[in-house]
Amino acid sequence: MIFYKSKSTYLRFLLIATILVLITVPNALETNSETESDYFPKPRYGHNLVYIPTDGSIYLYGGDYGYQSGVLLKSLWRFNLTTRLWTEIESDNGPPSTENSGFVYDSTNNQLVLYGGFKTDNYDMLADVWIFSLDTQTWTEYTLVVKPDTRSDASFYYDPIIDGCVMYGGYAENNSLLSDTWIYFTSNNSWSEIVTTSPGSRYGHHMVYNAYNEVGLMFGGRTTIYTDETWQFNTSDMTWTQISTAHMPTKRYWYSYAIADERNEFYIFSGRNDGYSDGAIGHFATFNLTSQDWNQTTSTIEPGPRFMSSMVYHEDLECIFLFSGTKGFNSYLYDDYWLYHVTNKTWTSFTPNTPTEDVGFDGLIITSTIALTIICGTIIHKKKNK
């Protein structure tokens, strides 16, 4: 039992004990190396955002916090752009921490499909499929015998007509570039390779489903050089066709992209091209699905140049949501949030909100521990004075 010679000594003890509790308890409770707080995901690059039109939510998965940082970003997050609140979706059996993987919304089966990429802890490439059910909020892994070779940086999009995900190209484990086309059929969880004339090997490109023309739309990527090609893939006859355009955006790969079906527009922003500082560019371009042409624009206020960022189009709010990315591998991560308003073609930045109605489990333990320290100290002090 501890006794105190004076009231001032007792008060000093309580102050020191409280400080020690504030320092040690959060560290003892920290079990997830990803989060810097209970409310926000870390900044990152190589991640994916997916928009869910049924409820307007946005899902975030994967990415890298920094080369050899040791931080594994394997939590699934949901963002409400209206309230600007993040929610971490906890799961004990989810996929490994990955980056540069394919991640899409399967609207027919109300699920998210994750494919490939590479692990951020050892950079091993992957070829397995993980599916997250939005109905049950659970992950399921599908390890199949017939499947594409392991890879990262492939294009991957969902085609509702065939109820399947189309995958093209990518970066192979032996540092070679790929040019194969595969379809993952979600109805029976099986892969099928499509043998057809292709646009050529590349990586860092992206594809979206173009509902207006019922085809997959692809731009750019990197072969032995940077490209500004625009291609489409038609699943009705399984053929690739290059689209000839009067104008082309800056050549790039590892860019951000989004599509607005009701506006018949496909958007790209940022990307990598070594002809620019740190290899990062910040050009925004729009592809009109009706006229089949590009228009590259600049704004007075816009996000900084970056690559390996991610963005999605929000149908209800008629804006594009952009999150994070990097200016260069030897540079820094952007921990920022931007909206591109497609109607007036302007950018605005914002800060996500922090929940105020719940102190959370960690806060409850810290508060309770401090209170217990004060109570015990008071009891001991009173016993001393009896």
- Per-residue pLDDT of 208-221, as tens digits, reads 999 999 999 999 99
* Residues 127/74, Cβ–Cβ less than 8 Å: no
Q: How many CB atoms are located within 10 Å of the residue 382 CB? A: 9
Of 154 and 328, more confident: 154
In this predicted structure, which of 19-28, 169-178, 249-258 has the lowest mean pLDDT?
Answer: 19-28
Query: Is a pLDDT exceeding 50 seen at residue 269?
Result: yes
The structural domains of the chain, ordered by start, are 7-29+371-385 (no CATH), 48-350 (2.120.10.80)
Q: How many CB atoms are located within 10 Å of the residue 180 CB? A: 18
pLDDT of residue 109: 98
264 burial via Cβ count (<10 Å: 0-12, 13-18, 19+): middle
Cα–Cα distance, 217 to 228 (Å, whole number): 13
Query: Is a pLDDT exceeding 70 seen at residue 18?
Result: no
pLDDT of residue 370: 47
Report DSSP state, residue 368: H
pLDDT of residue 292: 98
Of 96 and 1, more confident: 96
- Per-residue pLDDT of 129-187, as tens digits, reads 999 999 999 999 998 999 999 999 999 999 999 999 999 999 999 999 999 999 999 99
Tell me the pLDDT band of 12, cut-offs 50, 70 and 90: low
> Any long-range contacts for 192-195 (C-beta under 8 Å, 24+ apart)?
193/148, 194/238
Task: Using alpha carbons, select from 117, 103, 89, 92 the residue that is nearest to residue 52.
Answer: 103
Tell me the pLDDT band of 67, cut-offs 50, 70 and 90: low
Phi-psi region of 154 (alpha: psi -120 to 50; beta: other; left: phi over 0): beta
* Residues 285/293, Cβ–Cβ less than 8 Å: no
* Residues 283/296, Cβ–Cβ less than 8 Å: yes
- pLDDT (average), residues 309-322: 99
In this predicted structure, which of 9-18, 104-113, 301-310 has the lowest mean pLDDT?
Answer: 9-18
In Å, the largest CA–CA distance within the chain is 93
Query: Is a pLDDT exceeding 70 seen at residue 229?
Result: yes
